[in-house]
A = this chain, B = another copy of it.
């Protein structure tokens, strides 16, 4: 990367952590904070607040600073069209925007990338901006990934891959070749709390810690926009669900403060394993 990078900041602490990590690496950043979505903490960086629909203004701010690289980071939710309040720059591009808002998340986000690329910008992923924020390969704490779970991991990852075509499902819980829960619109934490309930109600019976959470991006997902993320809540919910551990795709799942999350998982008795397709059975 040469010159400044514009971070288009959605919700949560990830954008701020990524901005700080980039700065530590000597990268100049400029934050475009989405109104009503981004954290107030953007004030600690050079920034401007913009509405989600202010595409024209966003492009002007980027161009005015001679920025060529942009990076999307942080959750967006799924804005309602009525909330978008499009500016003229957005209205000009309405046909494209309508097209890209149809269908699932991935579909929409690919459209967003194309929209910015068609303006001559380069869209980079967070793993390029701050590689220390993504899952490391192998065991991330002192709890070993149990060899007997390798087959389950491959099975579960195949299932997530099969779901990719349907633009949903970046996580599931399984134990002994049985898929206990599949994530769709509810999100990973809600899915894990459901697993905890299923155990309480005896709908999923297992003695002691059992099963694992598997999380990976969709096959063909454009990682420059929406790497899946996990954090302390994920670990807490996985612990509530009584799992053995968490397996995430190395290099392709964001972990805010990896060391702390790995330690928290270890304390809760959960392995935290970064798998890659090659390391699977």
Q: Which residues of A contact B (CB under 8 A)?
A: 78, 80, 102-104, 155, 158-159, 162-163, 165-169, 172, 176-187, 190, 194, 198, 203-205
Contact = CB atoms under 8 A, between A and B. Distances in A.
Q: Looking at A78, A158, A182, which has the most chain B CB atoms within 10 Å of its CB?
A: A182
Given A78-B205, A80-B205, A166 B176 contact: no
A178 B104 contact: yes
B179 A184 contact: yes
Nearest to A168: B179
Contact of A182 (B155, B165, B169): B169
A102 to B, nearest CB: 7
A182 B159 contact: no
Nearest to A185: B180
Contacts of A198: 185-186
A178 B80 contact: no
Contact of A181 (B162, B177, B184): B184
A177 B103 contact: yes
A179 B172 CA distance: 15
Contact of A104 (B177, B187, B204): B177
Q: Looking at A78, A167, A179, A198, which has the most chain B CB atoms within 10 Å of its CB?
A: A179
A165 B187 CA distance: 23
Contacts of A176: 102-103
A179 B80 contact: no
Nearest 6 CB-CB pairings of A with B: A168-B179, A182-B182, A159-B166, A162-B162, A180-B185, A182-B184
A172 B183 CA distance: 11
Contacts of A179: 104, 166-169, 184-185
7 contacts: A159-B163, A159-B166, A159-B168, A162-B163, A163-B163, A169-B182, A182-B182
A131 B162 CA distance: 33
Contacts of A190: 194
A155 B167 CA distance: 11
Contacts of A204: 185
Given A104-B177, A159-B168, 13 more contacts: A78-B205, A103-B178, A158-B165, A158-B166, A169-B179, A169-B182, A179-B185, A181-B185, A181-B186, A182-B182, A182-B183, A185-B203, A185-B204
Q: Looking at A102, A166, A172, A205, which has the most chain B CB atoms within 10 Å of its CB?
A: A166
A177 B242 CA distance: 34
Given A165-B162, A178-B103, A194 B203 contact: no
